[in-house]
Every structure is written in C-alpha cells, then in structure tokens.
C-alpha cells in the first residue's frame, strides 16, 4: 500500500519506504536517543558528576559553572593556542578565548599563570562549542534543554584532553554531527570576509546547532519553522519530507522545543479549548441541542460545577485531521493533520495557532508506527480506515525537534536562506556582535510557557 494525500490506495510505496528506512538504520535499538559519551578517564571521574541514564536525563534549568584549574604542559597549551587560532572556521571568534594572554602565560615560565589561563581559555571554548556562544537571554522562545553538559562536563573533558595530550581532538569531539553544521561551515570558509552580513548569518545558524544535543538520534523528526518543512530522518539522511503550516506571527508563533513521540493517534478527537467553548459561546449553543452537536461532529457534556466540555469526534472534518503525533510538552504543541489541505499549496504558511500541521499526515503516522511500534502496513490500513480513535504506542524512542534556522540546506540539499518569520535572529545577531558573555549556567529559557492548543 501507499498513501496519497490522506487516502490509503493500492501499491507498495509505504512498505518500500519503511523497509528502506529500516535498512538504513541496520539494527534497531530499543532506545534511539543519542548514545552517551565515552566514559571519562579515571583522573576525570573524581570531578565528574553522576549523570542520569541517557534515556531519561535529569533536566534542570541551571547547572553549576564548571571551570576547573588544572596543571598544563607547555605542549598542551600550545596545542590549545593552535585550536583557538583556527576557531573562526567553526563560526566563533579567537579573541573570545584570550589567545594573547595564553601566549604570554606560555612564555612567562610561571606555571601557576599557565595553569590558570590555559584552564580558563579551554573552559570558555568548551562552553561555546558544546552549548553555544549565545546565552539564554538572547534565545527567544527556546525551550530545548541541551543535555551534552551532563555527558561531557568541562572538568571531565579537560582531564581527558590532558591525559591523552589531544586537545584538538577533545574540542573537535564537540562539533555537532548534523550534516547541516558541516555545510554551513563549508559556506563560511568560502564567504569573503568583506561580506559581514552573510558571515554573521552563517555564524548564528551554526550556533543554533550547538544549542541542540550533539547527536540527534538514529531516527528523528525535525521541522524547520521558517522553511515550512518537516523531515523524517534516519542516520541524518532525509527519507521523507513534508510541507508544514506553522504558527502565525505574534502570540501564536511556534516555539522551539524538543520532545519524544510517545504514540501515533489515528482518527483523533479534539477537546475544544475553553476560549472557544465559553468565549465564542460554542458550549452554550451545543449543550441543549445534542442532535445539532452530533450533526456538527461534536459531543458536549456539562459537569456538576457547570463547566461545559466540547469534544470534536473523529472524522475528516476534525480540526486535527486524521492523524496526530502524541508528543507531550508544556505548550500543547503537536504535529498533526488538517482538513484544510489546500493551504499547503500556499508559499507562505505561517497560519496556525502554534501547532505544526503536516501534509500527507497519514503517510507520516503510518511510517512512524512501522518504524517505532513494529506495526504492519496491513494493521495500519485497518486502524486508519476504521474511523475510530486509536492510539498506537511507540515501543522505540523517537525524538522530534521543532527548530528555527534562517540559513540551512533545504529539502533538496541546496543551501539557502529563509525569512526570519518571528524576528528571532535579531537578538542572536546582537549577541555575536557584542563581546562574549560569561556562561551563567542557564540551559532553558525563563520565558512564560503559553499553551497553544487551538489548531484552528
């Protein structure tokens, strides 16, 4: 079978798609989240905090600043100086890491001064390469928590670098593995220094990749909001892409977040928000007329306290369409279908109340249920065409990232720029134009979480 639009028709396209994805992935582990970093050396373990298992990391909004002072040889310090001198290739600025002070400390013969300066320069460089140079107050609507510091704390990384005498290798091991980072790095290398605006745009989008975990997972979904595209990815290769509709500019702009798909919902129901039930009088109109409610596809109930709940029943007219990904998050943001599929033909698609609508949603849901839940195509045809609400729980971890890149490779592999829909480049560009700020340990925005639970 295969899917055209959201109709199941004859053929073997979906089977081939899923088979191809599974072949690319080779052996499927039970968890397909990023693998943990290699263990630290014995010398480093004394300073390394105990981390939670990678499948369920302990998430905190802030972590202690980890900038130890350890003993450095002149050879290792010289190697660090060389890395700093070439760090512009990764979109960072050598002067941020005090190369002249490091050079002076090496030449001074003062071991204490060398240890202090080399440790400081290394720690600052690690912070920016691992976590991003942009501090949290310049990342608008950024709700992703990067867990790389849990598996690769600065003290442990410094200990490994000095034990192996491979400072360049330790820093290189922090580079994001997503192919787009390398593509941006290549573009920066050939962009004339006189083109400051383009170089600045490349730098901030490289930095956005550093805000994410270095390894995104074996399978994952990634949607780039300004591009209006969603990617189903296996081992960093796109196996399917889908046009999307994202949040309108303003209060319902789509936030940036990472979640895990817990299940695929076929023929979903939609609980209508109270802003519509009460604010627009829908509840009052339906509660006394169940026949009218049924004709319109709703079921209205009234609790003892007087609160009216309205649930839109499954069907082609449901506001969530025929498929929704169950991906719990504080914002009530989901990737889902829509009955208004003609909107995908529009070039500008910032039209929703925050959720991400996707074309060919049933195809996406069925493919994910095959890859992540072990369902057969035949089972999924029966489920999807039943007209009944059905949740297919995932048995393998499937990350999903809702991102915001204004310069990136498009779905055809061509590097391009995308309109800064929500004006989120402004603060990041300003942070790169200003001197480096000391890392404050913040790893999650303190902006208010707004539940965007209205797909209309």
* pLDDT, tens digit, 9 for 90 and up, residues 304-332: 999 999 999 999 899 999 999 999 999 99
Single pTM value for the model: 0.86
Answer yes or no: do 207 and 223 share one domain: no
Answer yes or no: do 177 and 262 share one domain: no
Residue 417, token pair as written in the block: 């720029």
Give the number of domains in the chain.
Answer: 2
Burial of 31 (0-12, 13-18, 19+ CB in 10 A): middle
Q: Are 97 and 86 in contact (CB under 8 A)?
A: no
Q: Is residue 226 part of a domain?
A: yes
Per DSSP, helices labelled H in 228-305 are: 274-277, 282-287, 290-295
Q: Is residue 435 part of a domain?
A: no
Answer yes or no: do 195 and 255 share one domain: no
Residue where a domain stops, chosen among 379, 403, 427: 403
Cα diameter, the chain: 89
Mean pLDDT, rounded, for 384-405: 96
Distances (CA, A) of 432 to 18, 133, 428: 42, 8, 6
Q: Can you give the CATH number for the domain in which 318 is found?
A: 2.40.440.10
Residue 317, token pair as written in the block: 């007219």
Burial of 78 (0-12, 13-18, 19+ CB in 10 A): middle
Answer yes or no: do 171 and 207 share one domain: yes
d(CA 159, CA 163): 6
Residue with tokens 């035949």: 378
Q: Is residue 282 part of a domain?
A: no
Show Cβ contacts of residue 239 under 8 Å, excluding neighbours closer than 6 positions: 17, 20, 21, 24, 232, 233
Distances (CA, A) of 222 to 219, 227, 243: 10, 11, 12
Residue with tokens 């649930």: 311
Residue where a domain stops, chosen among 190, 213, 236: 213
Answer yes or no: do 188 and 224 share one domain: no
pLDDT, residue 35, reads 39
Answer yes or no: do 25 and 127 share one domain: no
Q: Is residue 100 part of a domain?
A: yes
* pLDDT, tens digit, 9 for 90 and up, residues 37-57: 343 343 333 333 333 333 333
pLDDT, residue 249, reads 96
Determine the structural domain holding residue 88 and report its residue range: 66-213
Q: What percentage of the chain exceeds 90 in pLDDT?
A: 78
Q: Is residue 279 part of a domain?
A: no
d(CA 69, CA 119): 5
Burial of 93 (0-12, 13-18, 19+ CB in 10 A): middle
Mean pLDDT, rounded, for 281-287: 91
Q: Is the pLDDT reported for residue 106 higher than 80?
A: yes
Provide the strand spans (E) within 303-355.
Answer: 308-312, 323-326, 335-336, 350-352
Answer yes or no: do 395 and 319 share one domain: yes
Q: Is residue 40 part of a domain?
A: no
For residue 456, what pLDDT band results from cuts at 50, 70 and 90? low
Q: Is residue 413 part of a domain?
A: no
Residue where a domain stops, chosen among 213, 229, 244: 213
Answer yes or no: do 106 and 209 share one domain: yes
Residue 369, token pair as written in the block: 């249920």
Answer yes or no: do 190 and 264 share one domain: no
Show Cβ contacts of residue 127 under 8 Å, excluding neighbours closer than 6 positions: 154, 439
Answer yes or no: do 175 and 193 share one domain: yes
Answer yes or no: do 78 and 184 share one domain: yes
d(CA 244, CA 358): 5
Answer yes or no: do 242 and 206 share one domain: no
Q: Is residue 290 part of a domain?
A: no
Q: What is the separation, in whole angstroms, between the first and last Cα of the chain?
A: 31
């Amino acid at each position: 079978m295969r899917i055209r639009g959201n109709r199941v028709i004859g053929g073997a396209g979906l089977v081939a798609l899923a088979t191809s994805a599974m072949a690319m992935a080779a052996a499927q582990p039970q968890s397909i989240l990023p693998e943990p970093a290699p263990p630290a050396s014995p010398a480093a373990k004394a300073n390394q905090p105990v981390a939670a298992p990678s499948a369920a990391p302990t998430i905190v909004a802030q972590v202690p600043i980890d900038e130890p002072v350890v003993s450095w040889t002149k050879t290792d310090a010289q190697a660090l100086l060389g890395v700093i001198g070439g760090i512009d290739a990764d979109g960072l600025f050598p002067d941020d890491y005090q190369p002249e002070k490091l050079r002076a400390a090496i030449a001074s013969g003062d071991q204490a001064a060398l240890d202090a300066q080399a440790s400081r320069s290394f720690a600052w460089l690690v912070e920016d390469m691992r976590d991003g140079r942009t501090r949290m107050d310049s990342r608008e609507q950024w709700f992703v928590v990067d867990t790389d510091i849990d598996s690769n704390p600065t003290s442990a990384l410094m200990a490994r670098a000095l034990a192996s005498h491979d400072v360049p290798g330790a820093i290189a091991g922090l580079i994001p593995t997503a192919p787009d980072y390398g593509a941006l790095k290549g573009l920066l290398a050939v962009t004339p220094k006189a083109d400051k605006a383009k170089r600045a745009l490349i730098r901030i989008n490289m930095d956005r990749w550093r805000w994410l975990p270095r390894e995104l997972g074996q399978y994952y979904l990634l949607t780039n909001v300004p591009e209006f595209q969603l990617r189903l990815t296996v081992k960093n290769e796109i196996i399917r892409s889908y046009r999307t509709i994202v949040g309108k500019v303003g209060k319902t702009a789509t936030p940036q977040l990472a979640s895990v798909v817990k299940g695929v919902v076929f023929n979903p129901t939609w609980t209508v928000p109270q802003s519509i039930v009460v604010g627009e009088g829908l509840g009052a109109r339906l509660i006394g007329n169940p026949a009218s409610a049924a004709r319109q596809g709703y079921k209205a109930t009234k609790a003892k306290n007087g609160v009216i709940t309205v649930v839109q029943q499954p069907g082609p007219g449901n506001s969530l369409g025929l498929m929704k990904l169950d991906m719990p998050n504080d914002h009530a943001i989901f990737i889902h279908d829509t009955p208004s599929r003609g909107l995908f033909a529009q070039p500008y698609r910032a039209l929703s109340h925050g959720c991400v609508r996707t074309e060919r949603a049933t195809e996406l849901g069925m493919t994910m249920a095959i890859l992540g839940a072990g369902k057969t195509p035949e089972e999924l045809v029966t489920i999807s065409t039943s007209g009944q609400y059905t949740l297919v729980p995932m048995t393998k971890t499937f990350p999903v990232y809702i991102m915001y890149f204004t310069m990136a490779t498009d779905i055809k592999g061509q590097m391009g720029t995308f309109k800064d829909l929500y004006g989120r480049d402004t603060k990041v560009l300003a942070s790169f134009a200003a001197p480096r700020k000391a890392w404050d340990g913040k790893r999650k925005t303190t902006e208010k979480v707004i539940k965007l639970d209205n797909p209309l």
